């Protein structure tokens, strides 16, 4: 067989796009002559992020069903039919050897049409609670790569492979020095540093909490490295000082993680996987505004293993100070959380996922013989 052709679909949020790009990069490293085509949703961030990473992308006119009866919902059947038709043409023209889905609306029509044409597919599910698109596609997929235990609740057991979630390459072995990293951000390595992460766009409720507690952190002698998100930077930059560093975005995440003693973070699947690798005591504040409440379930999966702490937004008012202080004064708790969260790290996830994809390349797609599905 000549050059392999891979079609990859996933998007809507960074959580679906980042793994899709990481998988493509690893496939490209192993098969430099391979051809790639991404398929996304027309008005979502993948249409910008994927070309930035150097790959071609086609957009489908698709969006999710709204929870309420809206005109958008009335358009849904039309968009779906349009997307299935376009996905069918894309697959027919591109003739992929394997289709890969990382979740998000666009991967539904694409993988559905690919499997109809006998193209073997691999799904990658980032969360501990499977997304609706992946659940619908599971029966047609050859393999489903997951990051959490207990996923047979959602998928056929014999198709599940626990690989973990793709991680940014520069985080896989953090060799940064704590003192140098603290100085890089203009902080003192002598005092404790709290790193605050609200996800790629920032998180209003987390930012409000940190702003409210700035005096409290000062009294405790804690410095704060605060990624507030570009949507909120104008509002919070006034708090930047010697001990509080306010950033719209932190590009040097390996340094930020090395400098931190404690971390307060949202619980998106990508962040959780990174934090397992980082191994610092972490308090998760899951976003309640996420489909199927994924973030709460991701954080609970770690809490049950005594690998992290979690507070819901509704508990912050009364619980944040006692929980944070309890963590700060107990070295025993800090060590326990660090040890347990590190056990969950899966740094070779991308390689394992690509191993599974490569197994499907042995399939003779000409005769449509695929492994038992």
Q: Which of 120, 133, 130, 116 is nearest to 60 (CA)?
A: 133
Question: Can you tell me the mean pLDDT for 208-230?
Answer: 95
pLDDT-derived band at 143 (thresholds 50, 70, 90) equals very high
For residue 63, pLDDT over 80 is answered with no
pLDDT at 190: 95
Check whether residue 183 and residue 145 sit in a common domain. Answer: no
For residue 368, pLDDT over 60 is answered with no
Question: Can you tell me the mean pLDDT for 328-341?
Answer: 96
For residue 155, pLDDT over 70 is answered with yes
Query: Is 67 domain-assigned?
Result: yes
Task: Say how far apart CA 353 and CA 117 lie, in whole Å.
Answer: 23
Query: Is 110 domain-assigned?
Result: yes
Whole-Å CA distances, 282 to 259, 274, 318? 14, 12, 19
Check whether residue 329 and residue 352 sit in a common domain. Answer: no
pLDDT-derived band at 65 (thresholds 50, 70, 90) equals low
CATH number of the domain that residue 99 is part of: 3.40.50.2000
Return the C-alpha torsion angle 86, 32, 20, 40, nearest 10.
-20
Check whether residue 229 and residue 262 sit in a common domain. Answer: yes
Task: Say how far apart CA 369 and CA 195 lie, in whole Å.
Answer: 51
Q: Which of 30-44, 62-76, 157-171, 249-263 has the lowest mean pLDDT?
A: 62-76
Q: 87-110, pLDDT tens digit by residue?
A: 999 999 999 999 999 988 889 899
Check whether residue 49 and residue 152 sit in a common domain. Answer: yes
Query: Is 185 domain-assigned?
Result: yes
For residue 72, pLDDT over 90 is answered with no
Task: Say how far apart CA 13 and CA 354 lie, in whole Å.
Answer: 22
- Cα atoms in the 13 Å half-sphere on the side-chain side of 322: 6
Q: 276-303, pLDDT tens digit by residue?
A: 999 999 999 999 887 778 899 999 999 9
Check whether residue 142 and residue 176 sit in a common domain. Answer: no
Query: Is 372 domain-assigned?
Result: no
Q: Which residues are within 8 A (CB) of 150 and not within 5 positions of it... i.e. 6 or more apart?
A: 128
pTM above 0.95, yes or no: no
pLDDT-derived band at 67 (thresholds 50, 70, 90) equals low
Instruction: Give me the domain span that covers residue 128.
Output: 5-167+348-367
Q: What is the CA radius of gyration of the chain?
A: 22
Check whether residue 116 and residue 84 sit in a common domain. Answer: yes
Check whether residue 95 and residue 231 sit in a common domain. Answer: no
Task: Say how far apart CA 297 and CA 212 lie, in whole Å.
Answer: 27
pLDDT-derived band at 324 (thresholds 50, 70, 90) equals very high
Check whether residue 282 and residue 307 sit in a common domain. Answer: yes
Question: Can you tell me the mean pLDDT for 31-43?
Answer: 93
Check whether residue 183 and residue 291 sit in a common domain. Answer: yes
Question: Can you tell me the mean pLDDT for 209-230?
Answer: 96
For 283, the token pair is 């308090």
Check whether residue 183 and residue 330 sit in a common domain. Answer: yes
For residue 366, pLDDT over 70 is answered with no
Question: Can you tell me the mean pLDDT for 295-323?
Answer: 95
What is the total count of domains within the chain?
2
Query: Is 203 domain-assigned?
Result: yes
Check whether residue 154 and residue 275 sit in a common domain. Answer: no
Check whether residue 197 and residue 58 sit in a common domain. Answer: no
Query: Is 245 domain-assigned?
Result: yes
Query: Is 373 domain-assigned?
Result: no
pLDDT at 68: 57
Q: What's the whole-number average pLDDT of the chain? A: 90
Collapse the DSSP code of 175 into the 3-class scheme (helix H, G, I; strand E, B; otherwise coil) and give the result.
coil
Tell me which of 195 and 3 has the higher pLDDT.
195
């Amino acid at each position: 067989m000549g050059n392999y052709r891979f079609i990859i679909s996933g998007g809507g949020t960074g959580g679906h796009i980042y793994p899709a790009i990481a998988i493509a990069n690893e496939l490209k490293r192993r098969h430099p002559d391979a051809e790639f085509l991404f398929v996304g949703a027309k008005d979502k961030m993948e249409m910008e992020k994927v070309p930035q990473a150097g790959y071609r992308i086609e957009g489908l006119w698709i969006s999710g069903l709204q929870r309420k009866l809206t005109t958008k919902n009335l358009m849904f059947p039309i968009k779906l039919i349009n997307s299935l038709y376009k996905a069918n043409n894309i697959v027919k023209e591109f003739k992929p050897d394997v289709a890969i889905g990382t979740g998000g609306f666009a991967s539904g029509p694409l993988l559905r049409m690919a499997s109809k044409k006998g193209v073997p597919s691999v799904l990658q599910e980032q969360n501990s609670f499977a997304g609706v698109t992946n659940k619908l596609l599971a029966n047609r997929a050859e393999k489903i790569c997951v990051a959490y235990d207990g996923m047979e609740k959602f998928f056929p057991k014999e198709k599940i492979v626990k690989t973990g979630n793709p991680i940014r390459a520069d985080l896989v072995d953090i060799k940064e020095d704590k003192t140098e990293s603290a100085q890089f951000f203009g902080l003192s390595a002598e005092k404790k540093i709290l790193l605050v992460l609200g996800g790629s766009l920032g998180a209003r409720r987390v930012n409000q909490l940190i702003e409210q507690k700035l005096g409290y952190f000062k009294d405790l002698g804690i410095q704060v490295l605060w990624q507030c998100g570009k949507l909120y930077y104008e509002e919070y930059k006034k708090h930047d000082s010697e001990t509080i560093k306010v950033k719209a975005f932190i590009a040097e995440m390996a340094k930020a993680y090395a400098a931190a003693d404690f971390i307060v973070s949202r619980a998106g699947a990508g962040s959780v996987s990174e934090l397992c690798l980082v191994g610092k005591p972490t308090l998760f504040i899951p976003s309640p505004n996420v489909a199927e409440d994924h973030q709460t379930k991701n954080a609970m999966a770690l809490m049950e293993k005594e690998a992290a702490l979690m507070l819901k937004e509704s508990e912050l008012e009364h619980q944040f100070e006692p929980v944070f202080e309890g963590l700060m004064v107990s070295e025993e708790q800090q060590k326990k959380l660090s040890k347990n969260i590190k056990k969950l790290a899966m740094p070779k996830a991308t390689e394992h996922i690509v191993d599974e994809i490569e197994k499907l390349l042995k399939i003779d797609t000409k005769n449509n013989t695929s492994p038992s599905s």
